[in-house]
Amino acid sequence: MACVLETPLRMSVLSEVTASSRHYVDRLFDPDPQKVLQGVIDMKNAVIGNNKQKANLIVLGAVPRMVSLRGDPVVFQIPQEFTLMKRLSKTWLLYLLQQETSSTELRTECAVVLGSLAMGTENNVKSLLDCHIIPALLQGLLSPELKFIEACLRCLRTIFTSPVTPEELLYTDATVIPHLMALLSRSRYTQEYICQIFSHCCKVRMQALKCFSVLAFENPQVSMTLVNVLVDGELLPQIFVKMLQRDKPIEMQLTSAKCLTYMCRAGAIQTDDKCIVLKTLPSLVRMCSKERLLEERVEGAETLAYLIETDVELQRIASITDHLIAMLSDYFKYPSSVSAITDIKRLDHDLKHAHELRQAAFKLYASLGANDEDIRKKIIETENMMDRIVNGLSESSIKVRLSAVRCLHSLSRSVQQLRTSFQDHAVWKPLMKVLQNAPDEVLVVASSTLCNLLLEFSPSKEPILESGAIELLCSLTQSENLALRVNGIWALMNMAFQAEQKIKADILQGLSTEQLFQLLSDSDVNVLMKTLGLLRNLLSTRPHIDQIMSTHGKQIMQAVTLILEGEHNIEVKEQTLCILANIADGTTAKELIMTNDDILQKIKYYMSHSNAKLQLAAMFCISNLIWNEEEGSQERQDKLRDIGIVDILHKLSQSSDPNLCDKAKTALQQYLA
């Protein structure tokens, strides 16, 4: 890929060249490596911003015989106007740059000086190109040293952005583009320089356009660089928009739409930008039409699904563009019936793309229905939609199953559909089968969907419980996959809401005390919050509270203490105090609080906390403990008075917060009754 220079010969110097320039070059030939390094550094400082000095250094020699990596000699004619002594500083710099015996620092400084020389006149760049500088710098990119790589890329950027550099030089070796893409993630500088190289060489190259789509995908840093790149005075996104025009090749339109989509999702282009709303989105919808090839329809739908996935307004615009929702139903009609197909090649083509089409349609339906209830209704009312989802959950293709589950998850956010279409088609049955044996990627989405199907108002809740869901969900809480742990405990939390005593007992038995404590000690706040939510739902209604606290009270009180003492956020501590308030509402369970002086002191502490949410939650605990209609209320009131609770209540009754004030006054009335 690169050329290695033989050691340049030492000869006499041109009389035109200044003495100072000769001085810099002479030091490159010193036998002491440290002096050579210092000479290159001094040369770097001398040429910065000094085009005359750059020209002087370049004219100090000519390009001698070069040897390619394969060993084939490449001979150049030495211009007659130069004397034999032309030691050409750039040639010697290239030689030092390519020598593995040179230190990394020296090679890096050589690349920096060469880059500085290239920033001079166009003649400087031509001279460097004549030396085969590009192969030499590309060879430098194979180094493991990041600083050296960055210096080589910076120099390449300068050379390729020069109007005298043929763009084709970037594509002469098929390994160059993949290697540049592999270097993208090394640092922000490698990203910046490579993006600028590609942007300049993309004018006539589909290959470079495809590179941009890869570069921008889920990469905010690269996308922000690309969005500001100028090519011949025009911003790169404007060039992409021009490539969306209908008279351009379909491949170019699709790839340009991908570039703009990825830059938008990375935050480099706003979702309400005209280039997205009026150009990119309509172009992608157009790619979903029957007139397009099957593979183009797949790519168009998947890219559109990604574009609108997180933006409500884009979802609404897409849903009413060219009857998209109805258009997608055609994706499920491949392959056509065998009897209607006389062309075996067409049948084979349809079969090959049938899975991809269904996968793409499910993905796009999932994005369309992610937020808007009306859009979900339109999707479900599409021809045989629920049957197609149910069938998709059982397909052999893992990608189709995953997309079908995503679609189901999106639609399951609708309260109305949970009560009607989901129940009519018993979607919980194939969903439970998916959960029995699937890779984590599918399990995460399927378990998220199950969380919605277990909501209190969902008719699917009861049959799911009867199908052994508790055991399955308890096993998910032990997963190493964080998302599965969250979903497992979330689903159990939903299951426990207003549940019967037996279901709650089954959940506690399935989890085990040890696993419950493990979840309460989880480092992830989402797992902790959902576990606290589960405990809160388990400890509801007095008979259930008393029953659970009679068997698990000691462990639960211990967990509550640890959380209130720990370094947790306000929401976690508020939820924990609410659990205490529920325990305080029990008939016998409240004694576990009253006999625990440590807990009482913590409640007292949070009544005077600076955060009103925590104060209010602590007040609920006190109110439930002192309610005078319940047996033993007088003794509890007296004990709480002794530890200073009444004094705090008087202070809170003067609070500027109306909720705290009202709650404190209500509590004080219990003492007066």
User: For residues 120 and 516, which has the higher predicted lDDT (pLDDT)?
Assistant: 516
Q: Of 123-137, 297-311, 329-343, 569-583, which range is least confident?
A: 329-343
Helical H segments across 59-186, by residue range: 89-98, 104-118, 122-130, 133-140, 146-160, 176-183
Q: Which residues have CB under 8 Å from 491's CB, separation 6+?
A: 447, 450, 451, 454, 469, 473, 476
SS3 at position 496: helix
Judged against a pLDDT cut of 50, whether residue 622 lies above it is answered with: yes
Size of the chain, expressed as the number of residues it contains: 673
Residues 389-401 have pLDDT tens digits of: 999 999 988 999 9
How does residue 375 score in pLDDT terms, banded at 50, 70 and 90? Answer: very high
Phi, psi of 292 (to 5 degrees): -90, 155
The pLDDT assigned to 235 comes to 87
Report whether 394 contacts 435 (CB < 8 A).
no
Judged against a pLDDT cut of 90, whether residue 212 lies above it is answered with: no
Tokens coding 122: 């166009």
Judged against a pLDDT cut of 60, whether residue 576 lies above it is answered with: yes
Q: Chain centroid to CA 393: how far?
A: 26
Q: What does the alpha-carbon distance between residue 350 and residue 338 come to, in Å, rounded to a whole number? A: 11
Query: DSSP labels for 237-304?
Result: HHHHHHTTSTTS-HHHHHHHHHHHHHHHHTTSS-TT-HIIIIIIHHHHHHTTSTTS-HHHHHHHHHHH
For 444-461, letters b (16+ CB in 10 Å) and e give bbbbbbbbbbbbeebebb
Q: What does the alpha-carbon distance between residue 286 and residue 417 come to, in Å, rounded to a whole number? A: 30
- The arithmetic mean of pLDDT across residues 23-37, rounded, is 74
The pLDDT assigned to 52 comes to 61
Judged against a pLDDT cut of 50, whether residue 17 lies above it is answered with: no
Judged against a pLDDT cut of 60, whether residue 60 lies above it is answered with: no
The pLDDT assigned to 362 comes to 97
- The arithmetic mean of pLDDT across residues 610-618, rounded, is 94
User: For residues 361 and 206, which has the higher predicted lDDT (pLDDT)?
Assistant: 361
Residue 395: burial class (beta carbons within 10 Å; 0-12, 13-18, 19+): middle
Q: Which of 536, 525, 615 is nearest to 579 (CA)?
A: 536
Query: What is the reported pTM?
Result: 0.73
Q: At what angle do helices 612-626 and 633-642 cross, to 10 degrees?
A: 140
Q: What does the alpha-carbon distance between residue 208 and residue 144 come to, in Å, rounded to a whole number? A: 25
User: For residues 182 and 584, which has the higher predicted lDDT (pLDDT)?
Assistant: 584
Helical H segments across 521-541, by residue range: 525-538
- Classify strands 73-74 and 66-68 as parallel, antiparallel or unpaired: antiparallel
User: For residues 9 and 341, which has the higher predicted lDDT (pLDDT)?
Assistant: 341
Phi, psi of 126 (to 5 degrees): -60, -40
Report whether 194 contacts 153 (CB < 8 A).
yes
Sign of CA pseudo-dihedral 598, 601, 607, 612: negative
SS3 at position 660: helix
Q: How many CB atoms lie within 10 A of CB 258?
A: 26
Q: What is the dihedral of CA 362, 364, 366, 369, to 10 degrees?
A: -130
Long-range Cβ contact pairs of 120-125 (< 8 A, separation 24 or more): 120/47, 120/51, 120/54, 120/55, 121/51, 121/54, 121/55, 122/162, 122/163, 122/164, 123/55, 124/54, 124/55, 124/58, 125/159, 125/162, 125/164, 125/165
- The arithmetic mean of pLDDT across residues 361-366, rounded, is 97
User: For residues 41 and 277, which has the higher predicted lDDT (pLDDT)?
Assistant: 277
C-alpha gyration radius of the chain: 36
Q: Which of 441, 449, 445, 461 is nearest to 414 (CA)?
A: 449
How does residue 23 score in pLDDT terms, banded at 50, 70 and 90? Answer: low
The pLDDT assigned to 415 comes to 81
Tell whether omega for the bond before 459 is within 30 degrees of 0, i.e. cis: no
How does residue 629 score in pLDDT terms, banded at 50, 70 and 90? Answer: confident
Q: Of 173-187, 251-265, 364-378, 477-491, which range is least confident?
A: 173-187
Residues 506-517 have pLDDT tens digits of: 999 999 888 988
